[in-house]
C-alpha cells in the first residue's frame, strides 16, 4: 500500500469550536441527489400521464399495468448492472453513465409513436432509475462524514419526493390529450444537469482505497472533511477494513457473517414497497377517478400527495439524525398502517358522499406522510450503511433489485387486485404489511445513527445478534 502524506493542520484538533463541513460535501450530495429527482420524476410522471395516455392509446387495465411496470423491470436490470460496473469503474463514472441513459430514455419516451416504442423507452428509463437508486446512496454514504451522513443520504429521498411532486404538478398543468409527451421530455433537463455536475465531483475515497489509490483518497478526504480533522485516522480505518476483506462477489454474499446485514437490507427493501407506497403514487388519480372523483379533483389530490412526500422527506431528513433510523421507523410506521386501514374502511361505503371523499383524502395524505417518514426516508439509507465494504456493490444491488422487484409486483397487480377484491380488500392487505414491517424492525434492525461505516462492519464481524453487538459498541 503506498505511503500517504497528510497536511499537519489535518492532524490537529481545531480549537475554534465546531468544525464546519466543507461546501464540497454538500455539493457532492446535492448534485448526485439529482439522480433522486430524476428517479422520482420518471416513476411519478406516469400517474398523471396515464389518465390521458390510456385514452389516446386505448389501453386496457392490463396494458396500463405493463406501461407502468416495465420501468421497474428495467430498474431491476439497472440495479444489477450498476453494482457490477461500480466495482470495476467506480461510483462516479456509473452515476455519469446513468445521467446519459436518463436523457436518452426520456427523449425516446416523448417521441414514441406507438405503445411498443413507449414500453421500450420506459424500459431504458428503468435502467437509469435502477442505477441511480443503487449508486447514488452508496456514493453519498461513502463520502459523507458520519455525523451528517443520515441527513445527506435522506436528501436523496427528499429529491425523489421533489421529483414526484414536480411530476404531479406537470400532470395537472399539462393535462389533456398529447400532454404526456411534454411530461416525458422535461426529464432531459435534470439528466443533463446531473451528468455535467458529476464531472466536477470526486470519486468515492473508499473505492479508491479498495483499488490501492490511497494517496488520491487522502486528497479527496482532505476536500471532504473540516480543517483539523484527523484524516489519517479515517484513512487507516478504511485501509484496515479493506485489507481484511477481498473484493466482493455475488458468491461472498453467502458468508455467515454477512447474512444479518443482508437480511435487514433486503427486508427493509421489500417492506418499502409491500407497505403500499407506490400503489398510491402510481395509481391514486386512476383509483380516485374510478371511485367517482372528477379528473381535476383526482389530479389536484395527486399534487397534494407530492406535497406530502416532500414534507415527509424534510421531516425524515431531520428525524434520522436526531431521533435515529430505527426509532424513526418504529414511531411513524404505526401511523402509516392506521391511515391505510382507515382508507380501506372508507371505501367500504357505497357511493361517494362528501364525508367519504374527505375521509379518503385525509387518510391518503396521512398515509403518505407517515410512510414517507417512517419507511421511505430510511430505505435508501440503511443498506449502504450496514452492508460491508467488500460486498457493498453486489449486496446493495440485491437490495435495490428487491425494491424494484416488489415494486414491479405491486405495479402489475394493484389494478387487478382492486378489480378482484375491491379497493377495501387491497388497502387492508397493505395495512397488514405495515404491521409486519413494524415487527421486523423491532426484532432485527439496529441503530446506526452517528456510527462510522467501519464501526458498523466491525460489529457485524462479532457474530451473534447484530443489533445487540452494534448497540454495545
Domain count for the chain, please give it: 1
382492486: which residue's cell?
Answer: 418
pLDDT at 434 (0 to 100): 96
Residue 88 lies in a domain: yes
User: How confident is the model over 119-178, as pLDDT tens digits?
Assistant: 999 999 989 988 887 888 888 888 888 777 777 777 777 888 888 889 888 888 887 666
pLDDT at 373 (0 to 100): 92
% of the chain with per-residue pLDDT over 70: 89
Residue 172 lies in a domain: yes
pLDDT at 438 (0 to 100): 96
User: How confident is the model over 73-129, as pLDDT tens digits?
Assistant: 888 888 888 878 888 888 889 999 999 999 999 999 888 888 888 899 999 998 998
How many other C-beta atoms lie within 10 A of the C-beta of residue 296? 10
pLDDT at 432 (0 to 100): 96
The CATH number covering residue 337 comes to: 1.20.1250.20
Residue 11 lies in a domain: no
Burial call 186-201: b when 16+ CB within 10 Å, e when fewer: bbbebbeebbebbeeb
Enumerate residues 6+ apart whose C-beta is below 8 A from 315.
369, 373, 377
User: How confident is the model over 317-363, as pLDDT tens digits?
Assistant: 888 888 888 999 999 999 999 999 998 898 886 556 777 778 888 89
- Give me the DSSP letters along 366-379: HHHHHHIIIIIHHH
pLDDT at 177 (0 to 100): 61
pLDDT at 246 (0 to 100): 54
pLDDT at 291 (0 to 100): 62
pLDDT at 14 (0 to 100): 40
- Give me the DSSP letters along 292-310: T--HHHHHHHHHHHHHHHH
Helices 295-322 + 377-386 axis angle, to 10: 40
**Helix, strand or coil for residue 135?**
helix
Q: Is the pLDDT of residue 11 over 60?
A: no
User: How confident is the model over 283-327, as pLDDT tens digits?
Assistant: 777 677 766 666 666 677 778 888 888 898 889 888 888 888 899
Q: Is the pLDDT of residue 247 over 60?
A: no
What length is written for the chain?
473
Residue 156 lies in a domain: yes
Residue 234 lies in a domain: no
Residue 445 lies in a domain: yes
% of the chain with per-residue pLDDT over 90: 17
Residue 235 lies in a domain: no
Residue 1 lies in a domain: no
Range of the domain at 180: 21-201+244-471
pLDDT at 5 (0 to 100): 43
Amino acid at each position: 500500500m503506498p505511503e500517504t502524506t497528510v497536511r499537519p493542520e489535518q492532524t490537529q484538533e481545531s480549537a475554534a469550536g465546531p468544525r464546519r463541513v466543507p461546501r464540497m460535501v454538500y455539493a457532492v450530495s446535492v448534485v448526485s441527489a439529482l439522480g433522486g429527482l430524476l428517479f422520482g420524476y420518471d416513476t411519478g410522471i406516469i400517474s398523471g400521464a396515464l389518465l390521458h395516455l390510456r385514452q389516446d392509446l386505448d389501453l386496457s387495465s392490463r396494458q396500463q399495468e405493463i406501461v407502468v411496470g416495465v420501468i421497474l423491470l428495467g430498474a431491476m436490470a439497472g440495479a444489477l448492472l450498476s453494482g457490477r460496473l461500480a466495482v470495476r469503474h467506480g461510483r462516479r463514472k456509473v452515476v455519469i453513465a446513468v445521467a446519459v441513459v436518463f436523457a436518452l430514455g426520456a427523449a425516446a419516451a416523448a417521441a414514441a409513436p406507438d405503445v411498443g416504442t413507449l414500453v421500450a423507452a420506459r424500459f431504458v428509463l428503468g435502467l437509469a432509475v435502477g442505477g441511480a437508486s443503487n449508486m447514488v446512496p452508496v456514493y453519498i454514504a461513502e463520502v459523507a462524514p458520519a455525523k451528517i451522513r443520515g441527513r445527506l443520504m435522506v436528501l436523496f429521498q427528499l429529491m425523489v419526493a421533489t421529483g414526484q411532486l414536480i411530476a404531479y404538478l406537470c400532470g395537472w398543468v399539462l393535462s389533456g390529450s398529447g400532454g404526456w409527451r411534454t411530461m416525458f421530455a422535461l426529464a432531459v433537463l435534470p439528466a443533463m444537469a446531473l451528468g455535467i455536475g458529476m464531472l466536477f465531483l470526486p470519486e468515492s475515497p473508499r473505492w479508491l482505497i479498495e483499488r490501492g489509490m490511497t494517496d488520491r483518497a487522502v486528497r479527496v478526504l482532505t476536500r471532504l472533511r473540516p480543517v483539523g480533522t484527523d484524516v489519517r485516522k479515517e484513512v487507516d480505518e478504511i485501509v484496515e477494513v479493506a485489507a481484511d476483506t477481498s473484493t466482493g462477489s455475488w458468491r461472498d454474499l453467502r458468508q455467515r457473517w454477512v447474512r444479518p446485514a443482508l437480511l435487514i437490507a433486503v427486508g427493509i427493501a421489500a417492506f418499502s414497497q409491500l407497505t403500499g407506497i407506490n400503489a398510491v403514487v402510481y395509481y391514486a388519480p386512476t383509483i380516485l377517478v374510478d371511485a367517482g372523483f372528477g379528473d381535476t379533483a383526482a389530479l389536484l389530490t395527486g399534487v397534494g400527495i407530492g406535497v406530502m412526500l416532500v414534507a415527509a422527506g424534510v421531516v425524515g431528513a431531520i428525524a434520522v439524525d436526531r431521533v435515529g433510523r430505527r426509532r424513526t421507523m418504529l414511531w411513524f410506521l404505526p401511523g402509516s398502517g392506521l391511515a391505510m386501514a382507515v382508507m380501506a374502511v372508507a371505501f367500504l361505503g357505497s357511493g361517494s358522499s362528501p364525508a367519504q371523499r374527505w375521509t379518503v383524502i385525509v387518510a391518503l395524505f396521512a398515509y403518505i406522510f407517515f410512510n414517507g417518514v417512517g419507511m421511505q426516508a430510511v430505505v435508501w439509507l440503511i443498506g449502504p450503511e450496514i452492508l460491508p465494504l467488500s460486498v457493498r456493490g453486489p449486496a446493495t444491488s440485491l437490495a435495490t433489485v428487491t425494491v424494484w422487484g416488489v415494486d414491479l409486483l405491486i405495479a402489475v397487480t394493484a389494478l387487478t387486485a382492486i378489480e378482484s377484491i375491491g379497493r377495501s380488500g387491497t388497502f387492508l392487505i397493505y395495512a397488514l404489511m405495515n404491521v409486519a414491517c413494524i415487527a421486523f424492525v423491532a426484532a432485527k434492525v439496529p441503530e446506526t445513527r452517528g456510527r462510522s461505516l467501519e464501526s458498523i462492519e466491525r460489529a457485524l464481524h462479532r457474530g451473534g445478534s447484530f443489533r445487540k453487538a452494534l448497540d454495545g459498541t
